[in-house]
Amino acid sequence: MHLTAFSAVFSRWRTHCTYRISRRSVRKELADVTFSTVGVLKHLLNLKTDKSPGPDMIHPRLLKECAHELAYPLYILYRKSLDDGNIPQDWKDGHVIPVHKKGSRADVSSYRPVSLTSTICKIMEKLLRKAFLDNLIDNGFVSDNQHGVVPGRSCSTQLLEVLDKWTDILDRGGDVDVIYLDLAI
């Protein structure tokens, strides 16, 4: 279908984007990633024990049940890995397994690939993610329109915010045109 078919139903072309990308100065540089034994312990205690282990075969249940004993040794291991700039090879490996989505189990397209990686590495990734995201937020590099990765924000908060905006526009007699996209590779 040609774009003119859609343009006929629009009153006029406009954009409501209020976020502009600009060059910003860094207020707080991320010179080093800091975390604590308590942070490692928190992640160990929050592990889901029904998940499968990665290629290292260390089960999340074992890590959770031994969390108090493992928090400090893992902290030392994470700190050394960051200081040396090396990640153990076992943490880089993953086992890809097919997980049934829906439909016929005989149909290959009914499955999605899931990569099982080291749970110990996933904890380190969460510690790094928090440090990086905190730094981006502290420096003002995360838009107020961002919901997916910001703590306290989610797809639900984004939907509530956009519904509020649409309702306000409709209450004022305006028009709202929405296009939903579901992109897949």
Give the model confidence (pLDDT) of 98-157 as tens digits: 999 999 999 988 999 999 999 999 999 999 999 999 888 888 888 888 887 888 888 888
The Cα 19–Cα 32 span in angstroms is: 29
Mean pLDDT, the chain, whole residue set: 85
Q: What does the block give as tokens for 9?
A: 């139903």
Is 18 inside a domain boundary? no
Q: What does the block give as tokens for 101?
A: 């989505």
Is 155 inside a domain boundary? yes
Query: What is the Cβ-side half-sphere exposure of residue 108, based on CA atoms within 13 angstroms?
Result: 0
Residue 171 confidence (pLDDT)? 96
Is 22 inside a domain boundary? no
Residue 29: CB partners within 8 Å, gap ≥ 6? none
57: left (phi over 0), alpha (psi -120 to 50) or beta: left
Domains: count for the chain: 2
- Give the residue numbers spanning the domain of 169: 143-185
Is 101 inside a domain boundary? no
Is 184 inside a domain boundary? yes
Residue 169 confidence (pLDDT)? 94
The Cα 47–Cα 66 span in angstroms is: 11
